[in-house]
């Protein structure tokens, strides 16, 4: 039985587990159970994780299909930006950006008062100057690379916290009346569009005061102590106040802003030379400009041939040209490719043909080009319909005519650039934004006014340009467009970025003039009483036949003045930027005093620097020679000490 039992057991083992011993059976069963439990546990974890993610998404995630245009931008395969909700695309619309900006601010602005800005007196100015000098010495001798003399320096900007009536209140005024401000100016332009075109003050300020974690520009930072700053930004919206306030109310606000600013220790220390003042519309801040002419002005152009800027107020070495905000939508490389076959118009212009000053060239061009095959010259219309018509016309054209308007510049130039329509610039006195960085010859054609109005000349010139060059310029336009598109947040190599790059190049010269003004005594012969500063002209003016002159003592009796006809003596714009003496003109000096200069006024009179006119009458001289000294006593001119 025992043997039979063994056999039965053996047989049973053999039949159930034919190749394994009972020990192997026990080990295998344990491993199988562990594997089963592990599989169940993993399945449970996966189920819980999936359920949790689904539930979380349904309760917390935003509904991307709720009429929001962002979902299309993130899901568009042609959009090169990453498809992450945290990577919000930049906003290029001024109105939309302003709405978002104001929504993130309290309805009632609680502006922290700038305690250093009022009634500080000389002690506050001296304290600030001492702190600045100490910082600069530490940077220079401490081996730091952050000073203005370093090519790798970061621009440090102090943003004034001005009273709300200069900042937030004006922005809210525009926002609240945006749909109502469609009334036209005297030249037919909608007010709200003009404000948008000149809204550079908003774009720069909004970027500067944004949290550093949200900013993309790393070449400029905001500092909160005046002694740490290289520059001071004035956040006063001069264009909004000009267009939306009553005339007297606007002038009162200008005077109040002037009083507030000139009371700041930083202004008193430098005379405003390191202060940035956005006055992008040529009519804005006009009543008090002469009292702030040493500041860095942000301008649309530098026309001084009309009544926009007075002689001695603007020049390239001090100020900066910024582009208009484009009116039309951006045409990227995809748009350029799609519109390539539709560009069957040789030359396109849509706008007002009757303009003042240098803009009179428009009517001449209109007469010359009227009815020419392949050319569209038409009067523009205002509003959204006019914008769409201009945009469609530019995208169907190879060249876009960009003549001077009331000023040498025009928003049309930047509309053409973002539309990939090659600009044909007919504006002899035009100054361009960021020209120290950008080469406009790669994207635009520049034609003199005298050539453009010759019968048949312009069309023949445009038809002579080969297709290869046209294609190259169009591709360059699609690349250059990013430099003229203001956005929030500000983008690297955008106009805000290039603005600070250009200003950074002025820092050493700014500090030179600040330090020089601090140490030069009143009777010093080193005072700049005459600047042979080049006028902002790209073409020379005719030789001037008359000028108030004085020969040197070796040629005439000491102190004697005369008015002589010296035809061929002076050619405007012939002085180099570095020249400081007017003695370069054949031994002839303009009559001046150590404390000032009789300036050649645009109305044909010699006037005191402070604005007193009619001291001496001469034929119209323009602004080829300018001074920045003090007033001339009673209009009398005496010999400068040599």
What would the pLDDT profile of 474-530 be if each residue is shown by its tens digit?
Answer: 999 999 999 999 999 999 999 999 999 999 999 999 999 998 988 887 766 655 544
Q: Is the four-CA dihedral 170, 176, 182, 183 of positive or negative sign?
A: negative
Q: Do residues 123 and 268 lie in contact, with contact meaning Cβ atoms separated by under 8 Å?
A: no
Predicted confidence (pLDDT) at residue 75 exceeds the cutoff of 80? no
The whole-number pLDDT of residue 132 equals 80
C-alpha span between 513 and 274 (Å, rounded): 10
C-alpha span between 526 and 535 (Å, rounded): 23
What would the pLDDT profile of 403-454 be if each residue is shown by its tens digit?
Answer: 987 778 888 999 999 999 999 999 888 999 999 999 999 999 999 999 999 9
State how far the alpha carbon of 399 is from the alpha carbons of 441, 450, 458, 462, in Å: 14, 19, 11, 8
What would the pLDDT profile of 344-394 be if each residue is shown by its tens digit?
Answer: 999 999 988 876 655 678 888 988 898 899 999 988 776 778 889 999 999
380: buried, middle or exposed (CB in 10 Å: 19+, 13-18, 0-12)? middle
C-alpha span between 204 and 298 (Å, rounded): 11
The domains of the chain are located at 116-321, 333-479, 544-635
369 versus 566: the higher-pLDDT residue is 369
For the ranges 101-115, 180-194, 267-281, the maximum mean pLDDT occurs at 267-281
What would the pLDDT profile of 266-303 be if each residue is shown by its tens digit?
Answer: 999 999 999 999 999 888 888 898 899 999 999 998 87
Mean of the per-residue pLDDT values of the chain: 72
58 versus 201: the higher-pLDDT residue is 201
* DSSP assigned state of 548: E
Predicted confidence (pLDDT) at residue 109 exceeds the cutoff of 90? no
Q: Which residues contact 91 (CB under 8 A, 6 or more apart)?
A: 97, 100, 487, 488
**469: three-class secondary structure by DSSP:** helix
C-alpha span between 206 and 212 (Å, rounded): 12
Token pair in block for residue 328: 């039309």
C-alpha span between 256 and 545 (Å, rounded): 44
Q: What is the DSSP string of 588-615?
A: EEE-EETTEE-EE-TTSEEE-TTS---S
C-alpha span between 275 and 295 (Å, rounded): 5
Angle between helices 411-418 and 383-395 (to 10 degrees): 50
Band of residue 126 on the pLDDT scale cut at 50, 70, 90: confident
237 versus 76: the higher-pLDDT residue is 237
C-alpha span between 192 and 198 (Å, rounded): 10
C-alpha span between 297 and 201 (Å, rounded): 11
Short-list 267, 317, 254, 17, CA closest to 118? 267
The whole-number pLDDT of residue 335 equals 86
- Per DSSP, which regions of 182-295 are E strands? 220-223, 231-233, 275-278
What would the pLDDT profile of 573-616 be if each residue is shown by its tens digit?
Answer: 333 333 333 333 333 333 333 333 333 333 333 333 333 333 33
Strands 588-590 and 562-570, by their bridges, are unpaired
Predicted confidence (pLDDT) at residue 31 exceeds the cutoff of 50? yes
For domain 333-479, is the CATH number 3.40.50.2300? no
C-alpha span between 269 and 431 (Å, rounded): 31
- Determine which helix (DSSP H) or strand (DSSP E) holds 298, and give its type and residue range: strand 296-299
Instruction: Print burial letters for 426-461: b (CB count within 10 Å at least 16), e (below 16).
Output: bbbbbbbbbeeeeebeebbbbbebeebbeeeebbee
Q: Is the four-CA dihedral 69, 70, 71, 77 of positive or negative sign?
A: positive
Q: Which residues contact 408 (CB under 8 A, 6 or more apart)?
A: 301, 303, 358, 427, 428, 429, 430, 431
Mean pLDDT (whole number) for 151-177: 90
Peptide bond preceding 489 in cis form (omega within 30 of 0): yes
């Amino acid at each position: 039985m025992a043997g039979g039992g063994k056999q039965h057991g053996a047989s049973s083992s053999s039949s159930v587990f034919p190749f394994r011993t009972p020990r192997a059976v026990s080990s295998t069963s344990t491993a199988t159970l562990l594997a089963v439990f592990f599989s169940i546990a993993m399945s449970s974890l996966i189920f819980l994780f999936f359920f949790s993610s689904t539930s979380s998404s349904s309760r917390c995630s935003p509904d991307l299909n709720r009429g929001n245009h962002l979902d299309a931008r993130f899901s568009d395969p042609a959009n090169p930006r990453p498809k992450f909700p945290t990577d919000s695309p930049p906003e290029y619309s001024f109105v939309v950006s302003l709405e978002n900006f104001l929504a993130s601010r309290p309805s009632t602005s609680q502006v922290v008062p700038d305690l250093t800005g009022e009634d500080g007196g000389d002690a506050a100015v001296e304290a600030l100057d001492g702190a600045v000098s100490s910082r600069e010495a530490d940077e220079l001798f401490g081996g730091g690379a952050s000073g203005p003399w370093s090519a790798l320096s970061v621009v440090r900007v102090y943003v004034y916290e001005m009273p709300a009536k200069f900042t937030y209140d004006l922005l809210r005024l525009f926002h609240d009346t945006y749909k109502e401000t469609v009334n036209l100016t005297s030249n037919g332009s909608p007010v709200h569009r003009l404000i948008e075109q000149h809204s550079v003050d908003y774009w720069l300020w909004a970027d500067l005061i944004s949290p550093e974690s949200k900013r993309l520009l790393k070449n400029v930072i905001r500092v909160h102590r005046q002694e740490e700053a290289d520059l001071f930004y004035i956040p006063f919206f001069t264009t909004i106040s000009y267009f939306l306030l009553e005339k007297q109310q606007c002038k009162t606000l200008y005077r109040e802003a002037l009083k507030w600013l000139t009371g700041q220790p930083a202004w008193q220390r430098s005379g405003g030379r390191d202060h940035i003042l956005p006055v992008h519309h040529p009519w804005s801040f006009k009543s008090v400009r002469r009292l702030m002419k040493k500041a860095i002005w942000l301008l649309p152009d530098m026309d001084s041939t009309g009544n926009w800027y007075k002689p001695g107020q603007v020049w390239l070495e001090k100020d900066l040209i910024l582009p208009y905000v484009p009116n039309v939508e951006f045409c990227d490389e995809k748009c350029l490719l799609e519109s390539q076959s539709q560009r069957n118009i040789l030359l396109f212009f849509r706008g007002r043909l009757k303009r003042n000053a240098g803009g009179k060239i428009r009517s001449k061009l209109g007469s010359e080009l009227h009815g020419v095959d392949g050319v569209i010259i038409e009067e523009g219309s205002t509003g959204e319909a006019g914008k769409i018509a201009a945009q469609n016309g530019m995208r169907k054209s190879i060249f876009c005519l960009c003549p001077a308007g009331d000023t040498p510049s025009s928003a049309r130039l930047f509309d053409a650039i973002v539309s990939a329509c090659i600009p044909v610039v007919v504006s002899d006195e035009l100054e361009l934004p960021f020209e120290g960085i950008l080469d406009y010859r790669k994207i635009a054609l520049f034609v003199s006014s005298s050539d453009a109005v010759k019968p048949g000349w312009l069309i023949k010139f445009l038809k002579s340009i080969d297709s290869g060059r046209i294609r190259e310029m169009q591709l360059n336009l699609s690349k250059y467009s990013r430099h003229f598109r203001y956005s929030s947040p500000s983008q690297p190599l955008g106009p805000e970025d290039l603005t600070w790059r250009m200003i950074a190049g002025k820092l050493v010269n700014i500090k030179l003039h600040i330090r020089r003004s601090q140490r030069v005594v009143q009777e010093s012969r080193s005072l700049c009483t005459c600047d042979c500063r080049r006028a902002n002209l790209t073409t020379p003016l005719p030789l001037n036949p008359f000028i108030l002159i004085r020969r040197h003592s070796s040629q005439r009796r000491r102190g004697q003045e005369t008015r002589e006809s010296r035809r061929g003596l002076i050619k405007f714009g012939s002085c180099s930027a570095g020249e400081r003496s007017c003695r370069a003109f054949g031994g002839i000096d303009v009559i001046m005093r150590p404390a000032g200069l009789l300036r050649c006024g645009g109305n044909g009179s010699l006037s005191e620097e402070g604005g007193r006119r009619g001291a001496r009458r001469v034929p119209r001289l323009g602004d080829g020679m300018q001074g920045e000294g003090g007033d001339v006593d009673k209009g009398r001119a005496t010999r400068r000490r040599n």
